[in-house]
Structure 1
Amino acid sequence: MAAQSAIFRLEGVTRRFGDVTALDGVTLDAGVNEYISLLGPSGSGKTTLLRVIAGFEAPDAGRVHFQGRDITALPAHERGIGFVFQNFALFPHLTVMKNVAFGLMHGKGAQVPQAEIDQRCRDMIEMVGLAGMEDRGVDQISGGQRQRVALARTLVMQPKLVLLDEPLGALDANLRARMRNELRAIRERLGVTFLHVTGSETEALAMGDRVVVLDRGRIIQIGTSEQVYDMPETPEVAHFMNRFNLFEGSLKGGVFEGPFGRVAAPRARPAKSDIYGVRYDRMRVLPADAAPQGPAIRAHFVANEYLGSSVMNFFETPDGRVIEMEHHLSLGAPDTYVPRQDYLLTWNPEQAIVFGREAH
């Protein structure tokens, strides 16, 4: 994203809490009308990053820019940045309408005429699909509807940047899937930039124009969903994607030696350890007495799990390692396997991803 088109930019932001470095020299920007997913494990610094952008936390080093201004020292209420909290932070004693109108009726919003407040709130409530519920208490509506109220309350202030801190985490699986689509549709209609924090790789890949992967306070990869999914730059990113079987071994002279034997690995990526990765959906199952053309590992079948669009098959190696294989149902009916029976799991080495110290 070109710097001149960025609506916000962080430059070398560091935030410490005692001996813990929550953010370590983070530089990041987002363009106008862009949806960025911020992915990482618990404790990676995701929420701290949002709070620094919003102004709830002051960085120990680095600068925060928004709409061409340095806002590092600007109080949160003067930044014009929207924030949707994980727990929604609604006022339980107020109606849907009054919750949405709260920001317009207090502080800087108090200058807005009442007729305009009413119209803007009704328009926003309709946009998030809650028309007709204006007079209900927020304790009388569902979790998904409360999430929409929280979003409407933020968007009615007409921010150019909205920060979402795991906004779908409190919803059940069906609501999460539906709200993912609705969030993207609302953002596109309004032309607002969203920065969406999540611990779910599925959510991050589905939502973001770009995915930012954070680990221990540092950004370790930025790319499109396809780039991050297909070409993780580190073993940590591959692990976060939860789509790769990762094997430890040794990389020497362009050859990786692991539990499956030796296999050529001429295009290894630099890493602090030697790791061989094969995506779940790129593994094939052969009979135990087959003669595979490429690398293979022996394992017995344990169980499978139906996921709707695919079936996950679980195998266990003699040393107790679990290997996962995904079959997409769009490719046809899945094969069936006999529990506790041995099979050979194989793959095309051209589709593997290799990380190694030798590649530095």
Structure 2
Amino acid sequence: MLEIRSITKRHGAQTALDGISLTVAEGAYLSLLGPSGSGKSTLLRVIAGFDTPDEGQVTLDGRPLTGIPAHERGIGFVSQGFALFPHLSVFDNVAFGLRYHMRKPVRDGSEVRRRVLETLEMVGLAPYAQRQIQQLSGGQKQRVALARTLVVKPRLCLLDEPLGALDANLRQRMTLELRRIHSALGITFFHVTGNEMEALAMGDRVVVLDAGRILQTDTPDVVYNKPNSTAVVRFLNRYNLFAGRNDGRGGIATAAGTIAAPRSGEQRQGADYVDFCIRIDKIQVQLEGEAVGQSQAALPATYITSEFSGAIITHLFRLTDDRVVEVEDHLSHRRPAEYAAGQRYNLVWPRDEGLVFPVSAAVIEAAIRVAA
């Protein structure tokens, strides 16, 4: 089990990690999601032993790692750039860590060969053992980097944006490969990414990080369906977001009209100003003038255009305040609707599917200053 306790790391006046605490169960696959500069890679470097925290402690299987050099921690690290040796074959790249381990090098050539070929078989690269690195595709290089890490049997594998350098097709294939390899080995994987869909697809649990602080830790399903703050909603990039104010009658007044609020109201009690969020695939489109039910919320909008991306069509609508919102249509669900440019419609959704987050007075004041 990996335990991170109150880790703080500063770079001069900037705080990269601000009191991070996290527990990762043995054999788990954890995704760490955050924007650039959130502290993701810094946290990995602290765990790996490449950076020393200013405060706090990291333990692995109950053993404090403070003062233990990176090569003695039993932790594997896969970087985004692969860091392969271009002058060595695939076999020799993977064998390098076995042959030149600082404390326990493997001198027996037959043992090296057995373990390297075993690991290459696991990642699907056994036929490529004698290939040179420059003869490989991006996805194959990624698997060589992973094999080189796994061949030394680490207790924990850190992956620093491992799919970031791959194109969309390779990224999707490697997502499946990583999950398969993790299941086969049972090693704890700690996967850092700035891609929200990758984080949700990969992890048994997802940690959302921003400005060196953890915003939410939960299963992918909960993070996706029940983000706990406006900040997490923004990172997911799957919600339309509206600034509004409680009208005292069960509605939220926004610049585009009044939205029927979720009936539970727990998230907005006592808050004058709120952020309202509705996921883009929860919205249905009705012709203007069609009845809206008591259990529904709606806003009037004008159709602009649609964007096709494989199995999904994203329809763009302009609200009365000129902002543009997205409505997602899955082709597997039904025949895609056709809308007329410039035509008025109602955007409708189940009112209890909306999320409401209170906005503090400080945030309102800051927004007013920026606008001024």
Measured against the shorter chain, the TM-score band is: over 0.9
Q: Which string of whole-angstrom CA distances, capped at 9 and with x for unpartnered residues, describes residues 4-25 of structure 1?
A: xxx1110000011011111100
In 2: Cα distance, 1:139 partner to 1:275 partner: 50
- Aligned pair partner of 2:127 in 123, 132, 147: 132
In 1: Cα distance, 2:225 partner to 2:83 partner: 37
Q: Which string of whole-angstrom CA distances, capped at 9 and with x for unpartnered residues, describes residues 98-140 of structure 1?
A: 0000111112342442211111001101111111211111011
In 2: Cα distance, 1:157 partner to 1:117 partner: 10
Quick one: which amino acid aligns to residue 260 of structure 1? G
Range 224-233 or range 256-265, more displaced? 256-265
In 2: Cα distance, 1:218 partner to 1:314 partner: 34
Q: Which string of whole-angstrom CA distances, capped at 9 and with x for unpartnered residues, describes residues 248-305 of structure 1?
A: 0113656422233153441216999610000111111111233323432222212222
In 1: Cα distance, 2:279 partner to 2:195 partner: 18
In 1: Cα distance, 2:161 partner to 2:359 partner: 35
* Correspondence for 1:284: 284
* 1:199 Cα deviation after fit: 0.7
Q: Give runs of aligned pairs for residues 61-100 of structure 1, distance below 5 A.
A: 61-100=55-94
* 1:312 Cα deviation after fit: 1.3
In 2: Cα distance, 1:330 partner to 1:21 partner: 46
* Correspondence for 2:190: 195
Is 1:113 aligned to residue 108 of structure 2?
A: yes
Q: Secondary structure at the match of 1:247?
A: strand
* Correspondence for 1:51: 45
Q: Secondary structure at the match of 1:132?
A: helix
Residue identity (%) = 50
Q: Give runs of aligned pairs for residues 133-148 of structure 1, distance below 5 A.
A: 133-148=128-143
Q: Give runs of aligned pairs for residues 255-334 of structure 1, distance below 5 A.
A: 255-258=251-254, 259-265=256-262, 266-268=265-267, 274-293=274-293, 294-334=296-336
In 1: Cα distance, 2:247 partner to 2:343 partner: 34
Quick one: which amino acid aligns to residue 325 of structure 1? V
Q: Is the 8 A contact 2:300 2:347 kept in 1?
A: yes
Range 195-204 or range 326-335, more displaced? 326-335
Q: Is the 8 A contact 1:86 1:170 kept in 2?
A: yes
Alpha carbons of structure 1 residues 197 and 344: separation in structure 2 relative to 1, 3 Å: same
Q: Is the 8 A contact 1:274 1:355 kept in 2?
A: yes
Q: Is the 8 A contact 1:103 1:109 kept in 2?
A: no
Quick one: which amino acid aligns to residue 331 of structure 1? H
In 1: Cα distance, 2:152 partner to 2:287 partner: 62
* Correspondence for 2:202: 207
* Correspondence for 2:365: none
In structure 2, the gaps of 5 or more residues are: 361-372
Q: Is the 8 A contact 2:244 2:252 kept in 1?
A: yes
Quick one: which amino acid aligns to residue 281 of structure 1? D
Q: How many residues align?
A: 352
Alpha carbons of structure 1 residues 196 and 117: separation in structure 2 relative to 1, 3 Å: same
Is 1:245 aligned to residue 245 of structure 2?
A: no
In 2: Cα distance, 1:272 partner to 1:84 partner: 47
* 1:337 Cα deviation after fit: 0.7
Q: Secondary structure at the match of 1:58?
A: coil
In 2: Cα distance, 1:292 partner to 1:70 partner: 59
* 1:61 Cα deviation after fit: 0.5
* 1:214 Cα deviation after fit: 0.3
* Correspondence for 2:367: none
Quick one: which amino acid aligns to residue 212 of structure 1? V
Alpha carbons of structure 1 residues 206 and 269: separation in structure 2 relative to 1, 3 Å: farther
- Aligned pair partner of 1:103 in 94, 97, 115: 97
Quick one: which amino acid aligns to residue 168 of structure 1? L
In 1: Cα distance, 2:81 partner to 2:133 partner: 13
- Aligned pair partner of 2:150 in 143, 151, 155: 155
For the aligned residue pairs, the C-alpha RMSD in angstroms reads: 1.7
Q: Which string of whole-angstrom CA distances, capped at 9 and with x for unpartnered residues, describes residues 211-265 of structure 1?
A: 0000110000001110000000000111111111010011365642223315344
* 1:319 Cα deviation after fit: 2.8
In 2: Cα distance, 1:272 partner to 1:130 partner: 59
* Correspondence for 2:3: 9
Runs of 4+ in 1 over 3 A off after TM superposition: 251-255, 269-273
In structure 1, the gaps of 5 or more residues are: 1-6
Q: Which string of whole-angstrom CA distances, capped at 9 and with x for unpartnered residues, describes residues 6-61 of structure 1?
A: x1110000011011111100001111111000001111111111111001111010
What TM-score do the two structures reach when normalised by structure 2? 0.91
Range 104-113 or range 50-59, more displaced? 104-113
Is 1:230 aligned to residue 225 of structure 2?
A: yes
Q: Secondary structure at the match of 2:329?
A: strand
* Correspondence for 1:350: 352
Quick one: which amino acid aligns to residue 36 of structure 1? L
Quick one: which amino acid aligns to residue 125 of structure 1? L
Range 331-340 or range 78-87, more displaced? 331-340
Q: Is the 8 A contact 2:259 2:299 kept in 1?
A: no
